[in-house]
Structure 1
Amino acid sequence: MALFTFKLPDIGEGISEAEIVGWHVKVGDRVEEDQPIADMMTDKATVEMESPVAGVVVRLAGEPGDQVPIGSMLVEIEIEGDVGAAPPPAAETMEAETPGEAAMKGAVAPIAATPPPEPVAAPALEPLNVEPGETVVTHKPVLASPAVRARAKELGIDLAQVKPTGDRIRHADLDAYLLYGAGQGYAPAGRSAKRADEAVKVIGMRRRIAENMAASKRHIPHFTYVEEIDVTALEGLREQLNAGRGERPKLTMLPLLIVAICKTLPEFPMLNARYDDEAGVVTRHGSVHLGLATQTDAGLMVPVIRDAQDRNIWQLAVEIRRLAEAARTGKAKSEELSGSTLTLTSLGPLGGIATTPVINRPEVAIIGPNRVVERPVFRGKEVVPAKLMNLSISCDHRVVDGWDAASFVQAVKRRLEAPAFIFVD
């Protein structure tokens, strides 16, 4: 038998460490070659690590939430034969260590697995003196006033079957028993189920989100501008396009909004930019690499539509669906989750009246369309129904002035309210 040390390999993103999101194994488990052993989080994505050998796990690098440096021990596995007989996939990052080598690197020398303690038999309980076939029923003492007991007797109710809502059974509890039966599943009006406190460790994607949002609010002086837009004509156009879309995906508001944004940005280059506050340099980008904030089970992710300015509404619809699906299933590549120059965040049907989105640092602006609602509006002297949507934009006040943000939204508004301008220069 020998110990094989599986070191965390270089995942290829130029990172120096990765976070343990979760283990698929525990000490003492038998693992096979290529069996998943851990999920590791980099700056952009979660990577599943697989065992290069078969054997028994004897040591793990840490707990979920711990950081593991590249090249350091991730897991130790006891294998049959010697270490040389089990070729790792990458010799430079996965090799056996002798105690001397471990000491030279400041590591802890491998330790032998400790066998689990022998199970201790529970003390035998004395048998109850019960005749065969007899059922033993135990009841807690029932607390109730003489009046409640008398009423329960008249109604033929066994007080042991009634669930009290306080320290004793009251008339209201008898009424509830008569209404719901069996004393189960009822509660007086105004009460909700009590839940135990739960401590949840903030790790993985949720910790990345927390760190990024904290850094954005700490470093960026935000301001938000909101404008109401009449999208009645735009919604009518969208319905017509969907009616004749054929095999193409169904259009939402987003592709139309993205085209309007991309056509407006050349007039306002300060919004399609990234600010390196340490170097004091603002880079105004010619291409629009649009981040699309997407909610997933792991938390908020931002896949990127590359060169959004070069795509038509149907191409955007296809790319939006593809990236959202990749993000939600964890299949988005690292290059699809980085490099955005401007972000669009939408809550979809939840919408809301207005939002104040947090900037995706180091970008300088983020745009948030809100829910479309139908309300009466004046057209001349007449009151007519209209479909209205508020559009929010949050900006970095260090590099974007309020006038610029407001002017940009007004220019987008003109295109959306007269949608023919979306398709002409």
Structure 2
Amino acid sequence: MGIFVIKMPDIGEGIAEVELVEWHVKVGDPVVEDQVLADVMTDKATVEVPSSVHGTVVALGGRVGDVMAVGAELIRLEVEGEGNARAAPKAGVRAGASVSDTAPVVAVAPAVRGASPALRAPARPAGQKPLASPAVRRRAWDLGVTLQYVPGSGPAGRITHGDLDAWLARDRNDTSSRTTAMLYESHNEETRVPVIGLRRKIAQKMQESKRRIPHFTYVEEIDVTELEALRQTLNQQRAAERGKLTLLPFLARAMVLALREYPQINARYDDEAGMVTQYGAVHLGVAAQTPSGLMVPVLRHAETLDLWSFAAEVARLAEAARSGKAARDELTGSTITLTSLGALGGIVSTPVINYPEVAIVGVNRVVERPVFVEGRVTARKLMNLSSSFDHRVVDGMHAAEFIQCIRRYLECPALLFVE
């Protein structure tokens, strides 16, 4: 028997260090070639690190949340044959340690679907990470299932789609056994959640943005009655062949046209160099919620996309972001950002600028309200845009004119197709 050391791989693109965000194995686990050992994060992209050999884990090279250099020792395996290293572990996690010895203590919340810990014990000890593919994790997120409570039947306890189906079936059977008294139980648990991975990067980015940028927010009400009628007509006529349209493609097109008149808003500000760079290309960041947190995939050259191309590209990038497979260049380089909470958008918001950009356009929900039109009360569909600007380089007047320009395009949607 020998010891085989797997080092942190070179992710490429000049990246010198990555953050260790999740272990999929613990000391003592058998692993097979190509089995995922750990997840690491570069900027906002999560990368899975697989094993290159069969073996048994004898030591882990870092704790969740550690920033590790490319080439540093990631894990040690005991393998058949000579291996590639001496048996004594290098600096890192001691041989014989478990994940619970090395990872921050986290109390895992019960699943949204299914019973609380009072009815069910976790399928694995606290601190032991559930193994599952990105597709299974995505499906569990969509279903509201906490994987910590799902028994796995795959290799090394890996959770499969079949395990999720079995869990949901048992969950439905357990529903009838719950009592009204559970709604009034006393709870004293505390949950400690380490701020690591994407959550840490989001926190750092938001803090940097608010520290550097003097935000001001401008809110305008827009009548989208005619736009909604057009959207529904296009969906009725074209959805089967080209897919359904939401409001976002129309708003993106309106932004592209408005930015031609206000190029100073399609810009990035290097405050250390004292230089504003204005861009002819509109690289539109579209904020997307993922199981790991907020990410901003970037639509390159949004000015070249028609409504359906924009919708398809947004769907593709959002799926890549949610599954953790978005490339690094798909998550960087935006020149202006569009953010929307959809039906949860509220009436007004104060979006945080995606530093070093100088503007962000926020979409609030559409509501139907009575409005006076030519002296008569009629029902109209209204929507607010809540947009923030960097007051160092965007004057209030120009910000207001930019939003009013978007408003004109959206309230008379035929203008979106007139050059």
TM-score bracket, normalised by the shorter chain, equals: 0.7 to 0.9
Change in Cα spacing, 1:424 to 1:192, as seen in structure 2 (3 Å) is: farther
1:272 and 1:341 in contact (8 A); partners too: yes
Counterpart pick for 1:207 among 172, 194, 200: 200
Name 2:411's counterpart in structure 1.
417
Name 1:224's counterpart in structure 2.
217
Cα deviation, residue 331, structure 1: 2.3
Q: Distance in 2 between matches of 1:31 and 1:335?
A: 32
Change in Cα spacing, 1:114 to 1:24, as seen in structure 2 (3 Å) is: closer
Counterpart pick for 1:379 among 367, 373, 376: 373
Name 2:67's counterpart in structure 1.
67
Name 2:264's counterpart in structure 1.
270
Name 1:170's counterpart in structure 2.
none
Name 2:11's counterpart in structure 1.
11
Q: Distance in 2 between matches of 1:206 and 1:393?
A: 24
Structure with greater proportional helix content: 2
**SS at 2:363's partner residue?**
strand
* TM-score, structure 1 as length reference: 0.76
Give the share of equivalent positions with the same residue, in percent: 57
Name 1:185's counterpart in structure 2.
180
Name 1:28's counterpart in structure 2.
28
Structure 2 residue 311 is matched with structure 1 residue 314:
no
Name 1:396's counterpart in structure 2.
390
Name 2:161's counterpart in structure 1.
none
Ranges in structure 2 where 5+ consecutive residues have no aligned partner: 99-176
Cα deviation, residue 185, structure 1: 3.5
2:27 and 2:96 in contact (8 A); partners too: no
2:32 and 2:54 in contact (8 A); partners too: yes
Structure 1, residues 182-216: CA drift from partner, whole Å, max 9, x if none? 9963379xx57525111111111111111111111
Change in Cα spacing, 1:339 to 1:28, as seen in structure 2 (3 Å) is: same
1:75-114 equivalence runs, <5 A: 75-83=75-83, 96=85, 108=91, 113=95
Structure 1, residues 381-417: CA drift from partner, whole Å, max 9, x if none? 1111111111111011111111111010011111111
Counterpart pick for 1:346 among 331, 340, 343: 340
The letter for the 2-side match of 1:401 is D
**SS at 1:368's partner residue?**
strand
Structure 1, residues 270-321: CA drift from partner, whole Å, max 9, x if none? 1111111222211101000100100111111111111111111111111122
Cα deviation, residue 115, structure 1: 11
Name 2:135's counterpart in structure 1.
none
Q: Distance in 2 between matches of 1:378 and 1:396?
A: 35
Q: Distance in 2 between matches of 1:363 and 1:346?
A: 17
**SS at 1:244's partner residue?**
helix
Q: Distance in 2 between matches of 1:225 and 1:234?
A: 22
Q: Distance in 1 between matches of 2:376 and 2:178?
A: 60
Q: Distance in 1 between matches of 2:323 and 2:264?
A: 34
1:98 and 1:109 in contact (8 A); partners too: no
Name 1:406's counterpart in structure 2.
400
Change in Cα spacing, 1:242 to 1:267, as seen in structure 2 (3 Å) is: same
Change in Cα spacing, 1:422 to 1:193, as seen in structure 2 (3 Å) is: farther
**SS at 1:261's partner residue?**
helix
Name 1:323's counterpart in structure 2.
317
2:298 and 2:332 in contact (8 A); partners too: yes
Report which stretch shifted further, 53-62 or 67-76: 53-62
Q: How many residues align?
A: 340
Name 1:239's counterpart in structure 2.
232
1:33 and 1:51 in contact (8 A); partners too: yes
The letter for the 1-side match of 2:417 is F
* TM-score, structure 2 as length reference: 0.77
2:299 and 2:313 in contact (8 A); partners too: yes
Structure 1, residues 318-342: CA drift from partner, whole Å, max 9, x if none? 1122212222222222221111111
**SS at 1:247's partner residue?**
helix
**SS at 1:83's partner residue?**
coil
Structure 1, residues 40-91: CA drift from partner, whole Å, max 9, x if none? 111121111011122221111122111111111111112222135xxxxxxx
Structure 2 residue 296 is matched with structure 1 residue 335:
no
Name 1:252's counterpart in structure 2.
246
Structure 2 residue 191 is matched with structure 1 residue 198:
yes
**SS at 1:186's partner residue?**
helix
Q: Distance in 2 between matches of 1:32 and 1:415?
A: 57
**SS at 2:408's partner residue?**
helix
Structure 2 residue 366 is matched with structure 1 residue 363:
no
The letter for the 2-side match of 1:382 is R
Structure 1, residues 72-118: CA drift from partner, whole Å, max 9, x if none? 1111112222135xxxxxxxxxxx4698xx9xxxx64998x5699xx
Q: Distance in 1 between matches of 2:227 and 2:33?
A: 56
Structure 1, residues 328-358: CA drift from partner, whole Å, max 9, x if none? 2222222211111110000011111011100
Cα deviation, residue 2, structure 1: 2.4
1:61 and 1:68 in contact (8 A); partners too: no
Counterpart pick for 2:281 among 253, 265, 287: 287
Cα deviation, residue 38, structure 1: 0.6
Report which stretch shifted further, 408-417 or 7-16: 7-16
Cα deviation, residue 247, structure 1: 1.4
